[in-house]
Structure 1
């Protein structure tokens, strides 16, 4: 398994844990110290996995490269004064 797959699996497990803790809160109430600690620990795990996902190399959202605008205006002909027309020979010579 890749790191991405492992982190996704951990995230799914944390989602299941959060749902289970929610059901326990409904049954036992959320006011007790033990229940608040379980909820806080589950939330800390979720935050830690989120930080781990951000810190893991190559797992951050792929960043789109900045777009470069290319003008439709013709190029300045002085850029090409020292070059030959490819395949046509030099400007001052004639083909045989």
Structure 2
């Protein structure tokens, strides 16, 4: 079996998982555990797609290439971006 066949089979299994989780969601409701499972299946689908693109057999429609590094400058941000932000674990600033 070639890489393309393996990836097709993996994508098919992920699609089967997606259908099973959808059925579970209908049976059990949208519980936190079902939501986490659904998110895991989405992550698996994304990972299979990333591997396929890296192997040159996947869709190249998405932005950025595999392993592409995006540089973010260390320039100062406009302080107004953070004016309504809260410090994690501390809460909002009290000097309003």
State whether TM-score is above 0.5.
yes
Runs of 4+ displaced beyond 4 Å: none
Across the two proteins, how many residue pairs are aligned to each other?
59
- Bigger Rg over Cα: 1
- Alignment RMSD (CA, Å): 1.2
C-alpha distance after superposition, 1:32-60 (max 9, x if no partner): 1111110000000000101111011x425
Aligned to 2:14: 14
Q: Which runs of 5+ in 1 are unaligned?
A: 62-96
For 2:53 and 2:28, the matched residues in 1 are separated by: 35
Q: Which runs of 5+ in 2 are unaligned?
A: 60-96
- The secondary structure found in structure 1 opposite 2:34 is helix
- The partner residue of 1:59 within 46, 57, 60 is 57
C-alpha distance after superposition, 1:4-63 (max 9, x if no partner): 000000011111110000000000011x1111110000000000101111011x4256xx
TM, length-normalised to structure 1: 0.58
Within 5 Å, give how 1:1-96 maps onto structure 2. Answer: 1-30=1-30, 32-56=31-55, 58-60=56-58
TM, length-normalised to structure 2: 0.58
